[in-house]
Structure 1
Amino acid sequence: MPSGSSDTLPQLVLEVDEATERFAGDAPDLSSPTHHHNCEHSEGSAATLAHEHDDDPQSAAHHSETEHTKKLDQPEDPNRVGWLPDDPENPKSWSSSYRWFLTIFCGLLTINATFASSAPSSGTEAIVKHFDVSLEAATLVTSLFLFGYVAGPLIWAPLSELIGRRPVFIGTMTAYTLFQLGQALPQTNFTTLLVIRFLSGLCASAPLTNCGGLIADIWEPYRRSNAISLFTAAAFIGPVLGPIVASFVTESYLGFRWIFWIMMILGGTFLVFIIFCLPETYAPVLLARRAKRRRAAENRSELYADHERADFSVSGILQRTILRPFKMLASEPILVLVTIYTSIVYGLLYALFEAFPIIWGDLRGFTNTQVGLLFIGVGIGTTIGAFVSIFLQRPLKELVPKWHGHPPCEIHLRAAMLAGPFLIIGVFWLGWTGAYPTVPWYVPALSTVCLGASFTLVFISSQAYLIDVYLMYSASALAANTICRSSLGAAFPLFTRQMFNGLGVQWAATLIGGVSLLISPSPFIFYKYGARIRMRSKFAPSLDVQMKARVEAEERGRKIGGSNEPEKVV
């Protein structure tokens, strides 16, 4: 673990913050394995901090401190291109209104991408009849799309680190739109449909990956919480809207093919907006462009940007995007339990798409459209969860200056601690009231509000916690989390219907609720013992633990009338 005196600790914090801005600054579903590099401070060693210490993660922060000490004795490299104070080209210096426009646009892109994952689930029966396939085979239309979510982040995130966010947005949205055309055409057979669905999911994962990175590009860490809440809510609103819209389309004269036509129209519309409204926000690429312009204008070949000297070799990219996430998953108990928890929640969300038709369609005789409308309850719960999360994060603003930018990571777990019991209650409520047709339909429907709120709270809480725990390595932690939860989300629809039909609605829900009950204490355990666990980790810098002595000293100073005031975060 890094070590240092109270004098060197603030500099260590600064250096690790810079590395965090590059490798660990993204949002809760945020699933991007790559982040931007903050060039507003001295950043020589931080730019390659996570690359240079892949084999010895424990020494990364210590190396950062050593390098900064060296730089104190050496002048700033005059040939290195960086941001100026309040630089208008720095995305973090853009107006708040424009940054919120980009944040909301990212939310809409996320809704579009996740809408496509669940929309065909309302057309499952129509797909079975049209292609003359089994119900299990038709379920692959949803599952293979989600398997595209597993592979996509490993491609688009390092590519956006290499060439920037904007080209990846444009390229993937173009391909995504064309793939929808392939699904909509009547000539497409079932095998081709499945292949295209996987490729569509592969492309649709780019907004999930890059929107989180874009939010990290434009917002400072201590101002990012509301944007993260909006982004996470969007990631759940999309899957909820899918069955609602698709159920109306499927039962109309248009037929299930128009689900894909609608997705193509939406994809084309968003592509136009991306081309004309979405700028490049990835700071290292912007600085590399500035360096290139200055070299040409000033005829100074020695000018450079850090991005131009970064390690983009195949081995370096593989280490960051594939090897390190699995190394962490094999050795980090915090990451393992948080990943299990979020994977269960994500799988449960997609299990609902198969369970709702059984509970309200088979048992109560609801039409496909009526079943789709019941997802409104999940959407309402998701929205409530986002607002509750914002409320729970308000005390964090007061703690940031007190802890000099690094309050205890476990504060983020309060939302998950609140959500855990509601998740369990919601699952049992849905199962044991939904199993009996004599129970009014609205009684199990109300449970979906409870489930939707808990989904959002668990995700926002867990993603924020992983980011703060692993800092410059949180990109790898989030990548591991994304791979596991997307895999489980893809697997759940494949056996949900069989499980509910075989065990019965109430006992299938009891099984899911029992697993949720077993894992639900993990936020409480980490809230109490998380700091001790992090101190034994090779990947968690635990800056808040090291900052604790300084904070306590300042508290004692203020009590006896001293002048030690917490530094303002600017």
Structure 2
Amino acid sequence: MSHPPHFAVSSPSTSVVVTPRSSFTVINHDSTYELDSKTHDPTRPPARPLVLSPTMEAEVLNQDEAAFSRYGGDYVEEPTPRSPPERQKSLQIPSKPEKDPNMVNWDGPEDLENPQNWSTSYKWLLTLICMLLCLNVTFASSAPSSVSLRIQAEFHISNEVSDLITTVFLIGYCFGPLIWGPGSELIGRRKIFVVAMILYTIFHLGQALAKNIETLLVTRFISGFFACAPLTNSGGVIADIWDPERRGLAVSMFTASVFMGPVLGPIVSGFIAESSVTWRWVFWVMMIFAGACTLTLFFLPETYAPVLLARKAERLRKQDPHKHEHIYAEHERQDWSFAGIMKRTILRPFHMLFMEPILVLVTVYLSLVYGLLYALFQAIPVIFIKVKGFTISQTGLIFIGVGIGTTIGSAINVWTSRRYPALIKKWKGFPPPENRLISAMIGSPILVIGCFWLGWTGQYASVPWYVPAISTIFIGVGISSIFMSFLSYLVDTYLMYSASALAANTIVRSGVAAAFPLFTVQMFTNLGINWACTLIGLIMLVFVPAPFLFYRFGPKIREKSKFAPCIDLFIAKELAAQDKQQKEKQETGSQLTV
């Protein structure tokens, strides 16, 4: 089994500017990874940032074990892998690779083929399209929950089988990221969007016209498989078009839209469930919504820079075959063999999951938190229908509290990132990843409070309904802030391997979340609402110290990692050495003066 490369590093004196959301941008250039700099060289391709979404997808171009470089300094692969201590001790200054004049590049800031040079209003239009697509596919994950009783009655199935309607959709989320992420790097983002959304829309027919539960479950799984394409690639589109300085608000709005989808599902389906129409209208509404969203793709161009540069190279060769005979784009020379794709998309995530303690612990925590979100779709009806006497439509409105909370959580994450410009300057572009954990430190205890609050106020009919309803805001705040914080932490920790880390996290998390609806109702019925929420709250309480412990001991754990570059640790050693030299000079000067 191959190992991550040993990186030799040049002098990090050049200041590197990165986005507060991702703090890391990559582009495949001369077989290197390159970081975004304010002193942008127009002869180079624009840096492509690594942007998160709550569904854990990150966009990294060419994740092979190549070099990792930045303006003013290159991280170059050594011929043999080394252990982490040896890697930290043997840092060297390599020579900078020469540019290939035959490789196609952007023609400076006036090149409108470069998505980074598009107008701000057009960028916002594309951002809104991505938000709408993600709102749609996450809406579909929870929408059928309010009509499960009607489906049970028509198909004569048990509660457990009806819960599979949500479960199989989330299982589709487990497999989709392994296809759509690499697919967008191979043929571009727009083609993936179009193919996936069209098929996702068509397979709603099987759900709306299903004559038995088997047909409904199979088509739900296939829809989930295609539905995760926008979740996987929308963050990449935002990364393609927005520069680091203006990307923060776009990412925040995108994050809020992803969390709002599951919240809107029970609200809409609740009113359909109480109307005179059949339950099948839930799926007809989903199909109409999906079709309308698919039509917006006519306004979404290709934004993936390597594919656009490949098209540019092909156009130049056709215009003047003799003059541009040797022109090429870097994307055309990537290893897109089956073995290469398998290695960096399917095998590496599982390799990391077994090798990296940070990834394992974060994945366990986020899986439980994500499972709690989908458990709410089963638990809230138990509380507000059976105990509070709500109707199905009134119960759906309770999810508004979760939506408010997740929006507040996203705002908290933005607020805690406000000091990143100063950290970037201090750490020469690579702040310690542990600085990302501040919002999780706030959100983890809030989530525990929300769980206990919901259980012990939802148990008793004498407690006014709005008391447990307010607790859902706290739960939403905790879920959102924990997600954004820890996913950002994984990105900053693993850098060029973060896409693999997040893919592993996504697969496990979606699988765990798929299981939660299968036992939530039974747990709340048998244990009681109070003790069921107490059990969940105690489990979450165990993980409350997690962000604090990672903040304290994270650097030591990362130093032993085979996948974490730990650039901040090298910079810390360099800064300490510079301080020591400065003090020695001052002491020597004082002695000479005396």
Q: TM-score, normalised by structure 2?
A: 0.85
Aligned to 1:455: 479
Matched, 1:338 2:388: no
1:470 CA displacement: 0.6
Instruction: Give 1:120's match in structure 2, choosing from 125, 137, 144.
Output: 144
Q: For 1:66 and 1:97, how far apart are their aligned partners in 2?
A: 45
Instruction: Give 2:448's match in structure 1, choosing from 407, 421, 424.
Output: 424
Query: Cα gap change, 1:52/1:126 in structure 2, threshold over 3 Å: closer, same or farther?
Result: farther
Following superposition of structure 1 onto structure 2, how do residues 15-94 of structure 1 map, counting pairs within 5 Å?
17-18=26-27, 19=33, 25-32=50-57, 34-36=59-61, 56=81, 69-72=94-97, 75-86=98-109, 87-94=111-118
2:474 maps to amino acid: C
Following superposition of structure 1 onto structure 2, how do residues 499-518 of structure 1 map, counting pairs within 5 Å?
499-518=523-542
Aligned to 1:175: 199
Indicate the structure with greater helix content: 1
Instruction: Give 1:278's match in structure 2, choosing from 266, 280, 300.
Output: 300
1:471 CA displacement: 0.5
Following superposition of structure 1 onto structure 2, how do residues 105-254 of structure 1 map, counting pairs within 5 Å?
105-185=129-209, 188-221=211-244, 223-254=246-277
Instruction: Give 1:369's match in structure 2, choosing from 366, 388, 393.
Output: 393
Aligned to 1:2: 7
Matched, 1:316 2:321: no
2:280 maps to amino acid: R
Aligned to 1:565: none
Query: Cα gap change, 1:56/1:212 in structure 2, threshold over 3 Å: closer, same or farther?
Result: farther
Query: Cα gap change, 1:358/1:54 in structure 2, threshold over 3 Å: closer, same or farther?
Result: farther
1:230 maps to amino acid: M
1:62 CA displacement: 7.9
Following superposition of structure 1 onto structure 2, how do residues 325-404 of structure 1 map, counting pairs within 5 Å?
325-404=349-428
Q: Is the 8 A contact 1:410 1:465 kept in 2?
A: yes
Q: For 1:337 and 1:164, how far apart are their aligned partners in 2?
A: 33
Q: Is the 8 A contact 1:139 1:494 kept in 2?
A: yes
Q: Is the 8 A contact 1:23 1:33 kept in 2?
A: no
Which structure has the greater CA radius of gyration? 2
1:26 CA displacement: 2.8
1:95 CA displacement: 2.9
Instruction: Give 1:471's match in structure 2, choosing from 476, 492, 495.
Output: 495
1:53 CA displacement: 9.4
Instruction: Give 2:470's match in structure 1, choosing from 440, 446, 466.
Output: 446
- Highest RCO, 1 vs 2 (Cα 8 Å, sep ≥ 6): 1
1:338 CA displacement: 1.2
Q: For 1:295 and 1:555, how far apart are their aligned partners in 2?
A: 54
Q: Is the 8 A contact 2:10 2:94 kept in 1?
A: no
Q: For 1:554 and 1:188, how far apart are their aligned partners in 2?
A: 73
CA distances 1:389-417 after superposition (whole Å, capped 9, x unpaired): 21111111232233222222111100001
1:473 CA displacement: 0.1
Instruction: Give 2:319's match in structure 1, choosing from 297, 309, 312.
Output: 297
CA distances 1:326-357 after superposition (whole Å, capped 9, x unpaired): 11111111111111111111100000000011
CA distances 1:485-532 after superposition (whole Å, capped 9, x unpaired): 111111100110111111111111111111111122111111111122
1:459 maps to amino acid: F
1:80 CA displacement: 0.9
Aligned to 1:257: 280
Q: Is the 8 A contact 2:385 2:391 kept in 1?
A: yes
Q: TM-score, normalised by structure 1?
A: 0.89
Query: Cα gap change, 1:451/1:292 in structure 2, threshold over 3 Å: closer, same or farther?
Result: same
1:213 CA displacement: 1.7
1:35 CA displacement: 2.5
Aligned to 2:436: 412
Matched, 1:497 2:516: no
Q: Is the 8 A contact 1:329 1:335 kept in 2?
A: yes
Q: Matched residue of 1:394: which SS?
A: coil
Q: Is the 8 A contact 2:9 2:91 kept in 1?
A: no
1:314 CA displacement: 1.1
Q: Is the 8 A contact 1:33 1:321 kept in 2?
A: no
Q: Is the 8 A contact 1:23 1:475 kept in 2?
A: no
Which stretches in structure 2 are left out of the alignment for 5+ residues?
1-5, 28-32, 36-46, 587-594
Q: Is the 8 A contact 1:51 1:311 kept in 2?
A: no
Aligned to 2:40: none
Query: Cα gap change, 1:58/1:77 in structure 2, threshold over 3 Å: closer, same or farther?
Result: farther
1:245 CA displacement: 0.7
2:419 maps to amino acid: P
Q: Matched residue of 1:301: which SS?
A: coil
Q: For 2:56 and 2:79, how far apart are their aligned partners in 1?
A: 20
1:58 CA displacement: 7.0
Aligned to 2:309: 287
Q: Is the 8 A contact 2:8 2:75 kept in 1?
A: no
Q: Is the 8 A contact 1:16 1:46 kept in 2?
A: no
Q: Matched residue of 1:437: which SS?
A: coil
Query: Cα gap change, 1:328/1:364 in structure 2, threshold over 3 Å: closer, same or farther?
Result: same
Q: Is the 8 A contact 2:170 2:224 kept in 1?
A: yes
Q: Matched residue of 1:407: which SS?
A: coil
Q: Is the 8 A contact 2:67 2:75 kept in 1?
A: no
Q: Matched residue of 2:419: which SS?
A: helix
Number of matched pairs: 550
1:2 maps to amino acid: F
Matched, 1:269 2:289: no
Query: Cα gap change, 1:195/1:56 in structure 2, threshold over 3 Å: closer, same or farther?
Result: farther
CA RMSD of aligned residues (A): 3.3
Q: For 2:152 and 2:24, how far apart are their aligned partners in 1?
A: 57
User: Which has the larger displacement, 165-174 or 545-554?
Assistant: 545-554
1:3 CA displacement: 4.5
Q: Is the 8 A contact 1:50 1:473 kept in 2?
A: no
1:464 CA displacement: 1.1
Q: Is the 8 A contact 2:182 2:345 kept in 1?
A: yes
Q: For 1:220 and 1:530, how far apart are their aligned partners in 2?
A: 29
Q: How much identity, in percent, do the aligned residues show? A: 51
Q: Is the 8 A contact 1:149 1:201 kept in 2?
A: yes
Query: Cα gap change, 1:115/1:423 in structure 2, threshold over 3 Å: closer, same or farther?
Result: same
Q: For 1:251 and 1:472, how far apart are their aligned partners in 2?
A: 50
Q: For 1:303 and 1:389, how far apart are their aligned partners in 2?
A: 44
